[in-house]
Chain A
Amino acid sequence: CGLIYKVDAQQGNLFDKATVESLKPGMSKRQVLLVMGSPSVISPFDQNRWDYVSTIRRGRHKMASKDLTLYFENDQLAKIDGDYFPEDPDVLIKDARKYKREYPDEKRSDEDKKKKRRGGDQGQG
């Protein structure tokens, strides 16, 4: 029954439009890596194909998955196909709020604050 709580399972990459638009064929593997970050699936058997797979399964619903595949010919981006889940900040904030209680874990924030304060000082000068 739908009552039982199932943790959302999110996998793979998430991009905003601008990054994907900035992809142009002919880019080298290094440039793609810089722009898009590391692909979630690199098949050990086929080096010239990078799959930016992303899947999301909310609670008990079926898993939706999208795959952005990049094909390389001798280290140059040849073909881009498939699509991707655009990054939508509001949805992300709603998900994060589910876990986040109003009291952040005190241990972490105290130590970070000290580090930040030292870092912050230089910033302000």
Chain B
Amino acid sequence: ADTFTISDIRIDGLSRIAPGTVFTYLPVEKGDALTPERANQAIRALYKTGFFNDVQLSRQGDILVVTVKERPQITKIVIRGNKDIQEADLLKGLKGIGLAEGEAFDPLKLAEVQDELTRQYYNRGKYNVSVKTSKVNLDRNRVEVAINVAEGKAAKIKHLNVVGNTVFTDKQIEDDFESNTSNWTSWYTKDDQYSREKLSGDLEKLQSYYMDRGYADFSVESTQVSISPDKRKMYVTANIKEGEVYTVNDIKLTGALILKEEDLRRMLQIKTGEVFSRAKVERSVDAITSALSNIGYAFADVQPIPNIDKDKREVGLNFFVNPGKRVYVRQVVFKGNQHTEDEVLRREMRQLEGSWYSQAAIDRSKIRLQRLGFFSKVEIDTPKVPGTDDQVDVTVTVEEQNSGQFTFGLGYSQVQGLIASVGVTQNNFFGTGDRVSVNAQKSSFIERYQLSYFEPYLTDEGIGIGYDIQHTKLDASENNLASYLTSTDAFDIYLGIPISESDTINAQMGLSKTGVDTLTFYTPQAIIDYIDNLGHRTFHTWNMQWSWAHDTRNRFWNPTRGSLQSVSLELTLPGSTVQYYKFNYRFAQYLRMTDSLTFFGHFGVGYGDTYKDPQSVLSPDHPRYRADISGLPFFENFYAGGVTDVRGFRDNTLGPFAVLSPTTCPPTDKNCRLPLGGALKFVASAEIIFPTPFVKENSDATRLSAFVDVGNVFQNKLCALPECRVYKSWSADQLRASAGLSFTWRAPVGPIVINIARPIRKKPGDDTETIQFTFGNTF
């Protein structure tokens, strides 16, 4: 067509698309001169929109007529037969190719989809897959796309052979391969299913297996992967050349070292004379780069350049250190905090804006953010600031989890039976970082109303202030203890003062009033005598508590690294009814055993006594007169045994006990015993934490561990029975022990603890339990 000026444009064949749309994409308008070249441009532009199957330009006089044939619209995509790849991923993949509901249908894309799906299944080792795509034309220019997938079975690795390994046996080097030939565990581990990534990962492991043991010039010569004609069996062969064992003859440190050479040399994990090991070289490189990045050189790079002396079979290592420029932080930006305030995050950061970059400060900040317990995920990355080579921004992306619990409902624990509790605990009160909780709890043995508030940052340095007011009614007998009733009202103010990066001191002042009622037939005589001698039924105390805690744990829920050590001394001041002190020491340590196993050891000691002995009010010749009523008041005693204490024994039943009437209900029968607790408590436990199966790796919601618990309570002056006097003072063979499995899950309703334990050291009359659990209550 020759050129002509367009007087008007008319578009034919449109049904779904509006004319206006075509005009916006059409590069030519009324009044333009239409040259053949412009015409082609127009056609190409319209095709690019993807709306049309066919576009034709024709001329009627000076009117440009654009006839288009609209592509049918895809109303539905049906995928059948896909098991390995989820429907959502498939649809996302198709969207990427341009095939989605509502889009225009392009037949070319159908073939592309077929290839793409086949390739995805081949990658998963399903070489027998058959993917058939078809389309069904509907009315009004619509079309339905159906994709039928017959996955077939994945090809199984029947033969995995490493050729050329003389020094190590096949078993040794293939031990930690991911792929393996079919064996009796394959139905679960699926390790015999071939996949290319798994194989390349295994070859890398093979290379590091050799390189970590001195074979510096080890190489994988070639690998052959072959398949059986029926495409169900895979045969993998790797041919290697082991080379020789090399020892390190000299180590040089070159480049700009920044730090003193002997500091750096101390960080090297490989020494001259040792057998070459790539793992040690890498660990040395890591040590130096992290040391440099801790003091500001974020882009420090260390290149271990080996020079191999083939005949002497020695290798010299030259660690070339290139620190790069000292890097500064321009801005610290927080992302994802829809609920938490910016300041709550920023005050935890140890890396300030405008100061030089310190990887140590950033790691520390990440741990501090994780320990707030508000976030399920904390990711910190440091993108470069465009246009500068020595400035970075620190972007902290957090994923908030609801840190509050609106616990309403029933909890059950063997100790307390059914617990009806209503409570609002909000750890991150409207994002201000304050902890506010209002709780009411009613169960068979305890009735408690509590209001508490904690502001972690009273001052900028992080001195926290908290108030706590509570009213508790306790029926001890329901709690497996000697039966008496107490009703306590207490009010406390406490200050948390940080004295170092991981040490805090808590100072607490408080008032409390405890009323004790005894039931004539049920309370052991010793307790009644104690109260009569003391002459008081209600105990008023105003007390002080000092505690010091050193906490380096890396997470708020279920930590896996670090340790906690705390010493606390509680003192009731002169003027209280009974002036006593209670001392508590607790030590917990998490140690990394392997990548997936963590050792958790913890032990606690508690001791309490009066520091000014009360005098009996009864006259000495009174039958119930007791000269010595010193020692902790009985309701302040320590107890042992229970779901979160020495597992495998009923709650609070270990240690000294009393009996109502020794004749009718002998102390040997465990149901007649009324535990009294004791003034000295010792508990220790060792656990190995396993990764919980079926749960995302290192999530902090669940914890599965095998444990051994040891512990007991001693020293109770109210002991009357000979069997009770055996707990007079600390004696190692009175310690009880148990072993078993424990599972904790931080469910939305509150932490759930389930223990299966078997006592391994018990005495007749102990009240043991194999299964213990508690859920829905956080006290």
Direct A/B contact, Cβ within 8 angstroms:
yes
Binding site for B on A (CB under 8 A): 3-7, 9-14, 37-38, 40, 87, 89-90, 92-93, 95-101, 103-106, 108-109, 112-113, 116-117, 120, 123-124
**Residues A5 and B355 in contact, CB atoms below 8 Å apart:** no
B360 & A112 in contact (Cβ 8 Å cutoff): no
Contact B561 A103, beta carbon cutoff 8 Å: yes
Chain-A contact segment, one of B14-22, B133-141, B289-297: B289-297
Return 6 A-B CB contacts under 8 Å, by A number.
Answer: A3-B505, A7-B461, A12-B355, A40-B354, A99-B358, A105-B366
The reply to whether A4 and B259 contact each other, CB–CB distance below 8 Å, is no
- B-chain residues with CB within 8 Å of residue A89 when the two chains form the complex: 258-260, 263, 295
B562 engages A103 (CB within 8 Å): yes
CA distance A99 to B296 in the complex (A): 14
Contact across chains for B304 and A5 when beta carbons are under 8 A apart: no
Residues of A within 8 A of B208 (CB): 117
B6 at the interface (CB under 8 A from A): no
Which 7 A-B residue pairings sit nearest by Cβ, starting from the closest? A96-B294, A99-B364, A92-B295, A99-B360, A37-B390, A100-B360, A96-B360
A90–B263 Cα gap in the complex (Å)? 9
Partner of A104, one of B296, B355, B363, B462: B363
A9 CA to B360 CA in the complex, in Å? 15
If over half of B's interface residues share one DSSP class (helix, strand or loop), that class is named, otherwise mixed; here it is mixed
The answer to the question of B612 belonging to the interface, with a C-beta cut-off of 8 Å to chain A, is: no
A-chain residues with CB within 8 Å of residue B562 when the two chains form the complex: 101, 103
Closest to B353 in A: A11
Known pairs A11-B352, A101-B562, A117-B282; A37 contacts B328 (CB<8 A): yes
Name the A residues within 8 Å of B503 (CB-CB): 5
Which of B147-155, B494-502, B569-577, B731-739 contacts the other chain? Answer: B494-502
A4 lies within 8 A of B497 (CB): yes
Question: Do B295 and A105 touch (CB < 8 A)?
Answer: no
Q: Quick check: B391 and A38 within 8 Å, CB to CB?
A: yes
Check if A7 sits within 8 Å of B286, measured CB to CB. Answer: no
Q: CA–CA, A10 to B361, complex, Å?
A: 12
Q: A12 and B263: CB pair below 8 A?
A: no
Q: Does B367 touch A at the CB level, under 8 Å?
A: yes
Q: Report chain B residues within 8 Å CB of A124.
A: 278, 304, 306
Q: Once the chains bind, are B285 and A98 in contact (CB under 8 Å)? A: no
Interface size on B, residues (CB 8 A): 53
Contact B286 A112 (CB under 8 A): yes
Alpha-carbon distance between A97 and B463 when the two chains are bound, in angstroms: 24
Question: Is B453 in the interface zone, CB < 8 Å from A?
Answer: no
Q: A4-B499, A89-B259 are in contact. Are A37 and B326 (CB under 8 A)?
A: yes
Q: Would A12 and B354 count as touching, CB distance under 8 A? A: yes
B761 smallest CB distance to A (angstroms) = 34
Q: Are B363 and A105 in contact (CB under 8 A)?
A: yes
B356 touches A14 (CB 8 A): yes
Residues of B near A112 (CB, < 8 A) are 286
Q: A99-B364, A120-B285, A124-B306 are in contact. Are A92 and B328 (CB under 8 A)?
A: no
Q: How far is the CB of A53 from chain B (nearest CB, A)?
A: 9
Name the residue among A9, A12, A98 with the largest chain B CB count within 10 angstroms: A98
Docked CA distance A10–B364 (Å): 16
A-B contact sample (10 more), CB < 8 A, given A105-B363, A105-B366:
A4-B463, A10-B356, A13-B356, A37-B325, A89-B295, A96-B358, A99-B358, A103-B592, A104-B363, A120-B282
Asked whether any CB of chain A lies closer than 8 Å to the CB of B552, the reply is: yes
Known interface pairs A93-B263, A99-B358. Does A40 touch B328 (Cβ–Cβ under 8 Å)?
A: yes
Chain A minimum-CB-distance residue to B258: A89
Which chain B residues numbered 494 to 530 have a C-beta less than 8 Å away from chain A? 497-501, 503, 505
Q: Determine if B501 and A5 form an interchain contact, defined as CB atoms under 8 angstroms apart.
A: yes
